[in-house]
């Protein structure tokens, strides 16, 4: 059984050291769970990153010999975004511009690894 | 001038090949390559316009995130990583092995800056 409040709390554990918000979204851009400041921003970020992800996953499969997209890092003037896959959903971390890309990626990897089994379980049931 | 620019990019590629860099491309927003150098290890379609053109779209999408202008993107696939520098009106694409040091490749932005600025001024003119 999925407990939305617990899931949100787990996502919130990544929100330290300049990470503003953590999102779990599906491949169509719908927000599944969110932890951080201003949920409205989360919905916009979810919609845009899922779109970029799906385009690059598709074009990577055709141009890069069926290569699978594992990570996406975006660096903008006022923030940084890291996206990775957990089971069949996407995990997205949105951070301040001074947060190192390495720590952002490492946090995303750690959280994805932690969430992988329970989300796989939900996806397969 | 184009020959000089290409030979400069070739020398940069040669010096970073041992670090896993396979290709450098300078394209316009539509993915039309202005300059490109590559070794034999990258997939044949990775430097085609229909693949490179998707990066302009991704940059435009990233600009809508509400966190300022997009500066760079990193796409990590299973075997290949693609680093994209937004140098409006041009895009610089680096294609490297997924094991290559991303931080080292990001430093290439400074090394390619003067070349890209020179080409940008010609494109703007």
Domain ranges of chain A: 17-124
Would the CB atoms of B78 and A67 count as touching at under 8 Å? yes
Tokens of B64: 């809508």
Q: What is the pLDDT of residues B83-92, one digit of tens each?
A: 999 988 889 9
pLDDT at residue A72 in the model: 93
The H or E element spanning position B62 is helix B49-62
Decide: B53 and A56 in contact? Cβ < 8 Å.
Answer: no
Decide: A92 and B98 in contact? Cβ < 8 Å.
Answer: no
CA dist list (Å): B65 to A24, A44, A48, A75, B86: 17, 7, 7, 11, 15
> Domain coordinates of chain B in residue numbers?
2-124
Q: Provide the chain A residues 18-37 that lie in CB contact (below 8 A) with chain B.
A: none
The arrangement of secondary structure in B2-124, i.e. its CATH architecture, is 2-Layer Sandwich (3.30)
Q: What is the pLDDT of residues B2-51, one digit of tens each?
A: 778 888 888 888 888 888 999 999 988 888 888 888 888 777 777 777 78
Tokens of B91: 């895009």
Size of the A and B interface in Cβ pairs below 8 Å: 98
The residue in chain B having the minimum alpha-carbon distance to the alpha carbon of residue A54 is B58
pLDDT at residue A40 in the model: 64
DSSP letters spanning A46-67: HHHHHHHHHHHHHHHHHHTTSP
Residue B46 with chain A: CB contacts under 8 Å = 63-64
Determine how many CB atoms are found less than 10 A away from the CB of residue A102: 11
Would the CB atoms of A64 and B79 count as touching at under 8 Å? yes
Q: How many CA atoms lie within 13 A of B26 on its CB side?
A: 23
The residue in chain B having the minimum alpha-carbon distance to the alpha carbon of residue A61 is B77
pLDDT at residue A7 in the model: 86
pLDDT at residue A58 in the model: 85
Closest CA to B47 of B95, B119, B108, B100: B95
- Name the CATH code of domain A17-124 (choices 3.50.50.60, 3.65.10.10, 3.30.450.30, 3.30.360.10): 3.30.450.30
As a whole number of angstroms, the distance between CA A45 and CA A85 comes to 16
Would the CB atoms of A63 and B46 count as touching at under 8 Å? yes
Would the CB atoms of A81 and B103 count as touching at under 8 Å? no
Q: Which one of B42, B76, B97 makes the best mutation probe of the A interface by having the most chain A beta carbons within 10 Å?
A: B76
Residue A101 with chain B: CB contacts under 8 Å = 74, 102-103, 106
Decide: A87 and A117 in contact? Cβ < 8 Å.
Answer: no
Q: What is the pLDDT of residues B48-59, one digit of tens each?
A: 777 888 888 888
- Checking if the pLDDT of B125 tops 60, the result is no
As a whole number of angstroms, the distance between CA B38 and CA B23 comes to 4
DSSP letters spanning B7-45: HHHHHHHHHHHTTTEEEEEEE-TT--EEEEEE-TTS-GG
Would the CB atoms of B67 and A52 count as touching at under 8 Å? no
What is the reported pTM? Answer: 0.89
ipTM of the complex: 0.88
Decide: A85 and B78 in contact? Cβ < 8 Å.
Answer: no
Q: What is the pLDDT of residues B93-122, one digit of tens each?
A: 999 999 999 999 999 988 888 888 888 887
pLDDT at residue A109 in the model: 93
- Taking the Cβ of residue A101 and every Cβ of chain B, the question of whether any pair is shorter than 8 Å is answered with yes
pLDDT at residue A45 in the model: 85
Would the CB atoms of A71 and B75 count as touching at under 8 Å? yes
Decide: A20 and A94 in contact? Cβ < 8 Å.
Answer: yes
Q: Which residue positions in chain A have pLDDT lower than 50?
A: none
């Amino acid at each position: 059984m999925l407990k939305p409040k617990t899931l949100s709390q787990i996502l919130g554990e990544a929100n330290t050291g300049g990470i503003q918000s953590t999102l779990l979204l599906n491949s169509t851009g719908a927000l599944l769970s969110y932890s951080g400041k201003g949920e409205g921003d989360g919905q916009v970020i979810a919609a845009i990153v899922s779109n970029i992800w799906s385009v690059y996953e598709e074009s990577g499969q055709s141009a890069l010999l069926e290569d699978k997209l594992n990570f996406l890092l975006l660096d903008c003037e006022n923030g940084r975004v890291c996206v990775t896959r957990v089971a069949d959903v996407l995990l997205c971390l949105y951070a301040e511009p001074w947060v190192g890309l390495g720590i952002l990626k490492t946090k995303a990897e750690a959280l994805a690894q932690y969430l992988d089994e329970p989300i796989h379980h939900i996806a397969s049931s | 001038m184009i020959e000089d620019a290409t030979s400069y990019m070739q020398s940069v590629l040669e010096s970073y090949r041992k670090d896993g860099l396979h290709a450098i491309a300078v394209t316009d927003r539509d993915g039309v390559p202005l300059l490109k150098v590559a070794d034999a290890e990258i997939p044949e379609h990775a430097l085609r316009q229909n693949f490179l053109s998707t990066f302009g779209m991704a940059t435009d999408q990233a600009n809508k995130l509400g966190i300022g202008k997009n500066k760079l993107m990193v796409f990590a696939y299973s075997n290949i990583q693609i680093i994209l520098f937004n140098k409006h009106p041009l895009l610089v694409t680096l294609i490297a092995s997924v094991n290559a040091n991303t931080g080292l490749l990001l430093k290439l932005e400074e090394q390619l800056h003067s070349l890209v600025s020179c080409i940008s001024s010609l494109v703007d003119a």
